[in-house]
Amino acid sequence: MLVQNYLLIKYFQQALHEHNYELNFFFIKQFMTLIVSPDYHAVPILEKNGIRWIPPSQAKRQDIRPLRIGILNIMPLGEKYEFNILHPLGLSVLQLEPIWIRLESHNYKTWEQNHVDDIYQTYENANREQKLDGLILTGAPVETIDFEDVHYWEEIKTILSDARKNIPSTLGLCWAGFVMAYLEGVNKLNYDQKLFGVFELKNLDPTHPIIGELDDIFYCPQSRHAGITDEDMEKAAEEGRLKLLAYGPEAGYTIFSTVDDRFIAHTGHPEYNATRLADEAKRDKDNPAVMPPENFDFNNPLNRWRSHRNIFFTQWVRYCYLSVSTYDMTVEPKFMVSSIESE
């Protein structure tokens, strides 16, 4: 199984590098597998979108150790949001087990409480028997509040402190990206006008293990009331606190990481599908404080960031996998085969 995983990774890397989308599609359709319960509410949507899944009972019978990806979800209407994360994760060539995590200090008011109780667990429980292989921290509708005043701030700090020591990579989306910058001494500022729409970004580091396979220029949705000045980000980079990975004239430094790459931040919403962004636009169309989205028609929602989303998440999962692998990925498959056969 180690050899099989190695070969899949190598062939998929080649397909990405050569922009062989036909081969990418083959791998995605043939080898991706999420481990979810048969009664999970999003199973019909997963199947409609061609995402393969197997129940936990079947996964236990297979000779595969899945990647355990924790998803700390604090988005409003989080049950509906879950598919936005599962879809790009399900495009990996590896088998993944999503571990849904809740905050103990937060009341999920817009969620069905039964749903929270049924499939979500605390961060401590998620790591009790086996450490997570990766962690995703979602956005939250609190970006205009000072970090120290967010009622679950202490719990977030505690989780991220542990994650940086014990989890290969933590991905922060939107507000969570600002949290990561703040923990490195870079504070956000509130906007007079919401940054809303689909914006162009430039890849600043084609050699980076996660964003290196992204196009030189790509697009991503933004939906936020806060940001970080270019000057503060550039100063943090000069002082060796952050790596700046993607930039746009309207969106600013949207993707960045800590210097050890343990935290990677994306202050946009690459995980959104077009419907999610359109729903937000329709919700706020009568709100005078929110202008219509730029470069996006919510009456005819077109997804211009799908490839960015898919490759970004696929590369992040790959990075987590390589970080936890128990064998040297630089070893040639022939050597690995002989080693396994001799056991």
Query: Following DSSP, what letter does each residue of 150-187 receive, concatenated?
Result: STTHHHHHHHHHHHHHHSS-EEEETHHHHHHHHHTT--
Whole-model pTM: value is 0.82
pLDDT of residue 249: 97
pLDDT of residue 43: 82
Give the chain's count of helices (H) and strands (E): 13, 11
pLDDT tens, N- to C-terminus, the chain (343 residues): 433 444 444 444 444 444 444 444 444 444 457 877 887 877 887 777 777 777 777 767 666 778 999 999 999 888 889 999 999 998 887 889 999 999 999 988 888 888 888 999 999 999 998 999 999 999 999 999 999 999 999 999 999 999 999 999 999 999 999 999 999 999 999 999 999 999 999 999 999 999 999 999 999 999 999 999 999 999 999 999 999 999 999 999 999 999 999 999 999 999 999 999 999 999 999 988 899 999 999 999 999 999 999 999 999 999 999 888 743 333 333 322 222 233 3
Catalytic choice (87, 208, 266, 269): 269
Sign of CA dihedral 81, 316, 30, 26: positive
Contact present, 140 and 75 (Cβ < 8 Å): yes
Residue length, the chain? 343
Catalytic choice (97, 174, 225, 266): 174
pLDDT of residue 63: 67
pLDDT of residue 92: 82
Q: What is the DSSP letter of 107?
A: -
C-alpha pair distances (Å), 282 with each of 57, 225, 300: 41, 17, 12
Contact present, 230 and 189 (Cβ < 8 Å): no
Catalytic choice (97, 143, 271, 280): 271
Active site residue 174: yes
Residue 99's nearest CA partner among 63, 139, 60, 127 is 127
pLDDT of residue 67: 92
**HSE-up of 18 (CA within 13 Å, CB side)?**
11
Contact present, 254 and 160 (Cβ < 8 Å): no
Contact present, 233 and 252 (Cβ < 8 Å): yes
d(CA 244, CA 240): 10
d(CA 296, CA 299): 9
Active site residue 271: yes
3-class SS at 191?
strand
pLDDT of residue 40: 81
d(CA 259, CA 237): 9
Domains of the chain in sequence order: 2-104+130-341 (3.40.50.880)
Active site residue 269: yes
Residue 91's nearest CA partner among 289, 273, 315 is 315
